[in-house]
Structure formats: C-alpha cells, structure tokens
Structure 1
Amino acid sequence: MLFKNNPDRYGWISISLHWMLAAALFSLFALGVWMVELDYYSNWYHDAPFIHKSIGVLLVMLMVLRFIWVRLNPKPKPLSKNAKLNYVAGMVHGVLYVLVFALGISGYLISTAEGQGVSVFDWFNVPAWLQAFEGQADVAGEVHEWLAYGLMGLVGLHAAAALKHHFVDRDQTLKRMWHPGSDSQ
C-alpha cells in the first residue's frame, strides 16, 4: 500500500486526511447555518450545538494531525510550471489552515465564555481555560460566523482550481488527490 507521499504522488494517509477534513468542514458549516435558526422549543436546540462543538474539536485535532503529517512527508511536486500559480496555491493552503484554526479558537471562545468546558461526545472534555473579555460569546460568535463564510468561499475557490486543473489543464492534480496510483505521468 502507498501510505506515504513521494515527490510524484500523495499517499493514502494524506488523501484520507484531506477528504475527512473536507467532509467535516462541509458538515459543520451546514449544521452551523441550520442550528442558529433553531428556537428554544426545537428538539435539536441543545443537541445540534453539542454535535457541532464535538465535531469541531475533532476537526481541529485532525487538522493538527494533518499539519504534522504534511511536515513529515515530502509534498508531491506541483504539476503546473507556472511559479506564480504554484505560489498562490501554497498561500491558499496556508490560509485554509489559518482559517480552520481560527474557527476552532473562536468556537472555543464561544463555548467556554461562561466558564464551562466543551464535552466531546461525552468521551472527554476540553477545559474552559480562558474567559478573556466582556461579551466574549457574542464577539467570538460574530468572528466565528465571518470566518466560516470566508473559509467556505476559499474552499469553493480551492475546488474550482482543482476542477480547472482537471478539465482545462487536463493534468493529474485532482486525480492524485483521489488515489495514490495517480501521479504526474
């Protein structure tokens, strides 16, 4: 099995982490948009935020794991010969990391504003270490919302770039993120 990356392709671990994060991000965004419209009498009023927070903590943990994995493995060389586009692609990936971590921090600040930790599916708790400022939940909530929409916009551009590589450039960029056997040939 091709678990690790090499200069020509991504391995199964990188591919799996990428798609698990993508699925979690889309799910969290959809759940977040839906749950803020719930009223107090909805059966989901308490359950949806619990699920959202739990998945959010796991997503940040997965993102940390991916960050470490990316640092320990060679990155496949870009297929594009355009240095400016390759630079932009690298910057977009960096901003995606920053936005995910910023979303995690703002979500943590919302959830712990009243001094209670975050229970992750009742498996473990993330303690409330920081009650930083007056109106923390409201301010962090506003930031969280803006970051979420910004992240989804950037993810949309990321997906559009992958589709451009596939349909316009007709290179293997998208294919090699689906299966380790897809390399730069």
Structure 2
Amino acid sequence: MWRNSRRGWGWPVIVMHWLSALAIIGLFALGWWMTSLGYYDRWYQLGPWWHRSVGVVLFVITLLRLVWRAMQPTPQAHGSRIEQRAARIGHALLYALLLLVMISGYLISTADGRAISVFGLFDVPALLSGMKDQATLAGDVHWYAAWALVILSLGHAAAAFKHHLMEGQDTLRRMLWPLR
C-alpha cells in the first residue's frame, strides 16, 4: 500500500496529492486576499509570512512527488488514446505551473536580497536578487501562473468526477485509497 502499482497509487502519492491540493487552494485564497490588505492591517506582514512558508513546504512536497513519480510505476490510464494523452499533457502542465508559481514567488520574496523564513524554523537564502524589476516581473508571472494553475486544477478535478460519475471508472477512488 506504500508503493504505486499498475492498478493504483500508494499512500505517499495520495497524501502528497491532497496536501498539495489543500495548499494550492489555501495559497491562492490567501494570496488574493493579501492584495486587498492595507499597510496598517495586522495581516499585512503575517499573511505573506504564512504564504511564503507554506509555499516553500509545497515546493519540497512537489519535488518529492516528482522524484517518487520517476521511481514508481504509474497506474494504467483510463479512457481513449486522446483522453490518455490529454491526461499526460494536463499533468505535465500542472507540475510545470506549480514550479513556475513557486519559483516566481521565490523571486518576488528574495528580490531585495533577504532570505525567506520558513515558519521561523530555517531560512531559504536569496540566491538570485537585485535584477532590474525582479519583484514586478516575477509578480506578474506569479499572478497569471497562479490563475492558470487554479483553472487547470478545476479542469483536473472535473475530469476526475466525469470519469467517476459518468463512466464508473476508479480514477477518483484510486486517489482516495490505494488499490491493489
């Protein structure tokens, strides 16, 4: 139940998938809300601190997911060849957008040369900073990539429900519980 099989995902993938989903939803909502905060609002500093900390944790989870995925078998895809190809492309885009959102977020946060504090436990150093308009350009990329990620994630969820409800496939069930 810990390893993937050709029939279903193992517990590590299932847990990382749902933690990622919760983090993406929470980070998007928090990020959007933060754009409305005033300078004297108590959350003006606290919101970005949480956003950056959870973002770094999500980055680590995403890297672990990619390594795990490369080392484990992938369950057999359902649907026609076109649906299978669309699923492969969709998953690749989800990972690419996740990485783009997190890297651009890192570039925003470190534009001034300061490290990112992760829940006050450790710091992620600013490896690249001081580029012309770094925070502004990275901010634009971050905003639009986050929207694209959320829209694609909604399509991903809709496809899972379609396979489950309309076609009676185990696509959704195998992301909820390991199937052998």
TM-score (normalised: structure 2): 0.97
Tell which has more relative contact order, 1 or 2 (C-alpha 8 A, sep 6+). Answer: 2
Within 2, Cα distance between the matches of 1:139 and 1:13? 35
Task: Indicate the residue corresponding to 2:15 in structure 1.
Answer: 16
2:131 is matched with which residue: 126, 130, 133? 133
SS of the residue 2:40 aligns to:
coil
Q: Unmatched 5+ residue regions in structure 1?
A: none
CA contact (8 A) 2:100 2:145 kept: yes
Deviation at 1:79, TM superposition (A): 2.4
Q: Unmatched 5+ residue regions in structure 2?
A: none
Deviation at 1:129, TM superposition (A): 1.2
Spell out, residue by residue over 1:128-157, the C-alpha distance to the aligned partner (whole angstroms, 9 max, x if none). 111252111111111100010000000010
Report sequence identity in percent: 42
**2:9 pairs with 1:5:** no
**2:115 pairs with 1:102:** no
Amino acid at match of 1:15: I
CA contact (8 A) 2:113 2:130 kept: no
Q: How does 1:62-141 map to 2 (within 5 A)?
A: 62-80=61-79, 82-131=80-129, 133-141=131-139
Task: Indicate the residue corresponding to 1:153 in structure 2.
Answer: 151
Within 2, Cα distance between the matches of 1:174 and 1:43? 40
Deviation at 1:95, TM superposition (A): 0.6
Amino acid at match of 2:8: R
Alignment length (residue pairs): 180
Which structure 1 residue ranges, 4+ long, deviate > 4 Å from structure 2? none
Task: Indicate the residue corresponding to 1:30 in structure 2.
Answer: 29
Within 2, Cα distance between the matches of 1:171 and 1:105? 35
**2:168 pairs with 1:170:** yes
Within 1, Cα distance between the matches of 2:130 and 2:61? 26
Task: Indicate the residue corresponding to 2:44 in structure 1.
Answer: 45
SS of the residue 1:6 aligns to:
coil
Deviation at 1:24, TM superposition (A): 0.7
Within 2, Cα distance between the matches of 1:4 and 1:171? 21
Within 2, Cα distance between the matches of 1:144 and 1:72? 30
Amino acid at match of 1:96: L
